[in-house]
Structure 1
Amino acid sequence: MPHKATMAINYKLLFALVLFALIISLGHSESTDDGSNDDDSGDDDGGPSSSLSRFNRSSFPSDFVFGAATSAYQIEGASDLRGINIWDKFTATIANRSNASVAADSYHRYKEDVSLLSGLGFDAYRFSISWTRLLPTGRRSGGISADGVRYYNDLIDEIRSKDLQPFATIFHWDLPQTLEDEYKGFLSENIVADFASYADLCFSLFGKKVKHWITLNEPWSYATAGYAYGTFPPNRCSKRDKFNSIKEGFRVGRFANYDEGQPGCEHGNSGTEPYIVTHNLLLSHAAAVKVYRETYQSFQRGQIGITLVTEWFEPYAPTYYSDVDAARRSLAFMFGWYMDPLFTGAYPTEMVTYVGNRLPTFNETEAAMVKGSYDFIGLNYYTAEYAKDIACNKSQQNYGTDPCVHPTQIKNGKPIGEEKCSWLYVYPTGIQKLLVYIKDKYNNPPIYVTENGVCRYNLGDRPKDMIRIKYHRSHLYKLRFVINQKLVNLKGYFAWSVIDNFEWLDGYFVNFGVIRVDYENNSRNRSCKDSATWFNGFLNKDGNIKKANICDLFPDNGN
């Protein structure tokens, strides 16, 4: 029998251990709670509850920015009032042969869209500027469009008049066709000077009113979809013999879907061009930041950054080092490809090792210009995948095979999360892990989540979108946790999207908006979905939907 004093000590130790386990359990519960069991979820049929008192904007810092995002090509329309861009020539390949010549007609209805955004309680509007709406030929020498200048001044004035902060993206993929025809766009180093000149024009015209600038949206998507997979304009990739090897390789993201009947591309090289294009994208970004910092920032007093996209990657077999390393390589090839140069002035060591001399290098001047060229980082997150290590295929070198990784969203017959629109599997834990990863690896930079949202197939008049409510709420729960518990320097959250829009390769087959746009009857009328009503409640500190709900002002609200 133990000594009584020893027994007393053991009881104290046992009590301490139980208390410690309870604290850890509570912490784990907080970190993994996605809000799906919270009583504000509404009925199963998608109807949102009006009570959000347990989780709303007051759960976040007082200066945290809540916004929603769009892009010019996807919503503006009025294609006859701007120059031709590379997407205008590409739309014959889009699902249902749809195009964005009218899109949501926001060029004519921007006041309505801004009023909806403001009325729902958002703080900011992220939009993009169409390069060819300002410069129809891509350069100042070809003339500045007075109509384009007027439109964006009017849009920004309207945003500010509704007490919203404008976040302006300078390039959201709509490259002037003239520059593509002249020197192949971002394949040429000539693009750097033209992009810097275009950015300079934006700063000079709108910089007194815009205090948050984003140079590029998702350069990874532009470089890989356009030059590795050939699914984006300018539709460049390797021909069939090399293209087929990409099919089972590193194909991630919503723009890398492989069509068994796709023969590859007429022109391109999937083993070199994505890396060249990324190099010129980064140099273009850095040149624009240099212009802003040297000429405008001191008196305009704004901030400038870049928006990067990435998935989160879980190792397929967490106990296998090879798969853990595959997940690390996947992040390097998708996110580190851009973030490492911005942070260190050089590409990730994983890419240097696996790509070799096909990967460009920065000279000393370029490295100094790229390194630190951000005041904040924009992060677009939608989904996650498992990463499985595979043997490297050195005989077929391209972006798809270079990481020696097979990404998949299915493991042992089970998806990583609930499937939506073929490529998007709901995995809110991914955004939590990703933000902590960025904090630890890149010295906790200021971050705005500049896009986050979920797709639904267009099924006519369907205002009930409970999945969208659950998606945004569960991801916002994760954001609250990383701010409060992990001290991530997170500044804001932008939902994608304000309104249903032209979704690139999917045309109008899918939607992301909290506001429905009637494309079926070509009226383009706006109406609120249940997710809009949910946001209206969430964004009010008292947890109640405003009595004067902006959605009530739209009689065609789908009910």
Structure 2
Amino acid sequence: MFGWILEPLVFGDYPEVMKKNVGSRLPSFTKVQSELIKGSFDFIGLNHYFSLYVSDRQTEPGIRDYNRDMSIYYRASRTEPPAGQGAPTNVPSDPKGLQLVLGYLKETYGITQLYVHENGVGSANDSLDDAYRVDYLSSYMGSTLDAIRNGVNVRGYFAWALMDLFELLAGYESKYGLYRVDFDDERRPRQARLSARWYSSFLKKNGSSIRVPRVQEDLRLTTIF
């Protein structure tokens, strides 16, 4: 995606490897068009949920598509076998990955204003007691802070999502919301999950150590900030 979107915006053209893999199906820019699009953005917004390992995959004959054009194998870890054309479904949390990609955008593309537009974790579990989501958000926000301390100008961070909603790839099956939505009730009532109370307290207290009640018992949650 970086080569497809960012290279034209920053350098005025697609990367050579993309031209080679996609061939005549890839549009070309005139010199005038190249100059017009170069630098034509105010900031870059990043959606980040997890990290994957990739390795080279030989170009295969036959009908080409988005996945074949990338010519890569996916792995959720260094040791597991390739997952094929599609991304693995069970991917471990990797907060360091967000810090690294933010640094990569700064160093490789010279991006001076960055926003984390989406960052969150989904689950089929509809419980209000989503301590796993608190752990996820806290660690990824800490990774964002590490990137800032390393000189990356991250101007904003947005947790995904405020409430359960229709997800592009998973529909209503995967719950990302800080607020639970009862889709079986026509009124669509909403209930705050543990993560909603944690996130609210985090924002109000500017990242200091906080205490939020669990659904069944108290849980002490301390951020790294």
Decide: shared fold, TM above 0.5: yes
- Pair 1:340-2:7 in alignment: yes
Partner residue of 1:468 out of 133, 136, 151 = 133
CA distance, structure 2, for counterparts of residue 335 and residue 387 of structure 1: 15
Q: State the match for 1:445 in structure 2.
A: 112
Aligned residues of 1:390 and 1:405 also touching (Cα < 8 A): yes
TM-score in terms of structure 1 length: 0.35
TM-score in terms of structure 2 length: 0.83
Give the direction of change, closer, same or farther, for the CA distance of 1:363–1:423 in structure 2 (3 Å limit). farther
CA distance, structure 2, for counterparts of residue 438 and residue 545 of structure 1: 32
CA distance, structure 2, for counterparts of residue 456 and residue 393 of structure 1: 35
Give the direction of change, closer, same or farther, for the CA distance of 1:396–1:504 in structure 2 (3 Å limit). closer
CA distance, structure 1, for counterparts of residue 81 and residue 61 of structure 2: 31
Partner residue of 1:429 out of 96, 101, 105 = 96
Secondary structure of residue in 2 paired with 1:367? helix
Pairing of 1:121-160 with structure 2 (within 5 A): none
Aligned residues of 2:44 and 2:111 also touching (Cα < 8 A): no
Post-superposition shift, 1:366?
Answer: 2.3
Post-superposition shift, 1:425?
Answer: 3.4
List per-residue Cα deviations over 1:253-275 (Å, max 9, x = no partner): xxxxxxxxxxxxxxxxxxxxxxx
CA distance, structure 1, for counterparts of residue 50 and residue 138 of structure 2: 15
Give the direction of change, closer, same or farther, for the CA distance of 1:364–1:398 in structure 2 (3 Å limit). same
Secondary structure of residue in 1 paired with 2:67? coil
Aligned residues of 2:194 and 2:215 also touching (Cα < 8 A): no
Pairing of 1:178-217 with structure 2 (within 5 A): none
Aligned residues of 1:537 and 1:544 also touching (Cα < 8 A): no
The list of structure 1 runs, each at least 4 consecutive aligned residues, that deviate by more than 6 angstroms after superposition, is none
What residue identity is the alignment partner of 2:73? Answer: H
CA distance, structure 1, for counterparts of residue 209 and residue 50 of structure 2: 30
Q: Which has the larger radius of gyration?
A: 1
Post-superposition shift, 1:375?
Answer: 0.8
Aligned residues of 1:340 and 1:347 also touching (Cα < 8 A): yes
List per-residue Cα deviations over 1:273-295 (Å, max 9, x = no partner): xxxxxxxxxxxxxxxxxxxxxxx
Secondary structure of residue in 1 paired with 2:68? coil
Partner residue of 1:392 out of 59, 73, 77 = 59
Post-superposition shift, 1:525?
Answer: 1.2
Pairing of 1:469-548 with structure 2 (within 5 A): 469-484=134-149, 486-541=150-205, 543=208
* Equivalences, count: 210
Structure 2: stretches of 5+ with no match in the other structure? 83-87, 217-225
Post-superposition shift, 1:408?
Answer: 2.1
What residue identity is the alignment partner of 1:422? Answer: T
More helix by share: 1
Partner residue of 2:28 out of 348, 351, 361 = 361
Post-superposition shift, 1:354?
Answer: 2.3
Aligned residues of 1:536 and 1:545 also touching (Cα < 8 A): no
| Higher RCO (Cα < 8 Å, 6 or more apart) | 1
What is the RMSD of the two structures over their aligned residues, measured on CA atoms?
A: 2.7
Give the direction of change, closer, same or farther, for the CA distance of 1:545–1:408 in structure 2 (3 Å limit). closer
Give the direction of change, closer, same or farther, for the CA distance of 1:453–1:414 in structure 2 (3 Å limit). farther
List per-residue Cα deviations over 1:412-451 (Å, max 9, x = no partner): 3499xxxxx9355321111111011111111132000000
CA distance, structure 1, for counterparts of residue 134 and residue 103 of structure 2: 24
Pairing of 1:2-151 with structure 2 (within 5 A): none
